[in-house]
């Protein structure tokens, strides 16, 4: 038996010969302009989503200014959530409440945050079950993020 190619969507074969659809190589299943994914990085979910990009990074839209960059050979457990910069509210206006979005009458009032930093995950990073990765986090090569952790800022390799 050979190692699966990096563009294989479902790299795990069950004993009955069928594909285990709850584990995917991310590059094969995510086609999103704001994602950059290294070869062989995979994610698993107890209940596989129809849209892996939205499942893992629900605030990273096609029009978002930031990117989510994931290196090679990363392992992403069930329940991991990447909270990217587009999820933020501005803090430099009259309120953090996005009045202009709902009313459209606050010309010049800040509503949407400006471009935020990219979130970057190095190579060979293991992100444990239920972890939350905050906007702009930079996680170095070889880091293990514990289950349930909340990670922001820089984590050295």
The predicted-structure confidence for 48-90, as pLDDT tens digits, reads as follows 999 999 999 999 999 899 999 999 999 999 999 999 998 887 7
Asked if residue 43 has pLDDT above 90, the reply is: yes
Q: Where are the domains of the chain?
A: 23-155
pLDDT of 103: 65
More confident position, 13 or 113: 13
Q: Which of 21-35, 44-58, 89-103, 114-128 has the lowest mean pLDDT?
A: 89-103
Residue 25: both structure tokens together: 């190589």
pTM for the complete prediction?
Answer: 0.88
At residue 139, φ and ψ (nearest 5 deg) are -105, 120
pLDDT of 116: 86
Domain 23-155, what fold? UDP N-Acetylglucosamine Acyltransferase; domain 1 (2.160.10)
pLDDT of 111: 58
pLDDT of 75: 98
89 noted as active-site residue: yes
**Dist. CA 111–CA 85, nearest whole Å:** 14
pLDDT of 105: 56
Query: Which stretches does DSSP call E strand in 15-109?
Result: 23-25, 35-37, 42-44, 68-70, 75-76, 81-82
**Dist. CA 42–CA 29, nearest whole Å:** 10
> pLDDT tier at 38 (50, 70, 90 boundaries)?
very high
pLDDT of 91: 72
Asked if residue 109 has pLDDT above 60, the reply is: no
Q: Give the end-to-end CA distance of the chain in Å, rounded to a whole number.
A: 33
Mean pLDDT score of the chain, rounded to an integer?
91
**Dist. CA 24–CA 39, nearest whole Å:** 12
- Percent of the chain's residues with pLDDT above 90: 76
Catalytic residue among 20, 32, 55, 89: 89
**Dist. CA 30–CA 10, nearest whole Å:** 12
Residues comprising the chain, all counted = 157
68 C-beta neighbours (distance < 10 Å), count: 23
- What are the C-alpha distances in Å from 57 to residues 15, 49, 102? 31, 12, 24
């Amino acid at each position: 038996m050979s190692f699966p190619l990096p563009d294989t969507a479902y790299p795990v074969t069950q004993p009955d010969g069928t594909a285990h659809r709850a584990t995917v190589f991310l590059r094969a299943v995510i086609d999103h302009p704001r994602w950059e994914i290294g070869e062989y990085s995979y994610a698993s979910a107890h209940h596989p989503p129809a849209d892996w990009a939205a499942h893992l990074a629900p605030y990273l839209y096609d029009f978002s200014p930031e990117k989510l960059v994931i290196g090679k050979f990363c392992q992403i457990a069930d329940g991991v959530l990447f909270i990217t910069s587009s999820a933020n509210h501005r803090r430099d206006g009259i309120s953090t409440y996005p009045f202009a979005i709902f009313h459209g009458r606050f010309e010049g009032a800040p509503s949407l945050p400006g471009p935020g930093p990219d979130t970057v995950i190095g190579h060979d990073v293991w992100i444990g079950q239920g972890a939350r990765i905050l906007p702009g986090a930079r996680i170095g090569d070889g880091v293990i993020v514990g289950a349930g952790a909340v990670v922001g800022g820089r984590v050295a390799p």
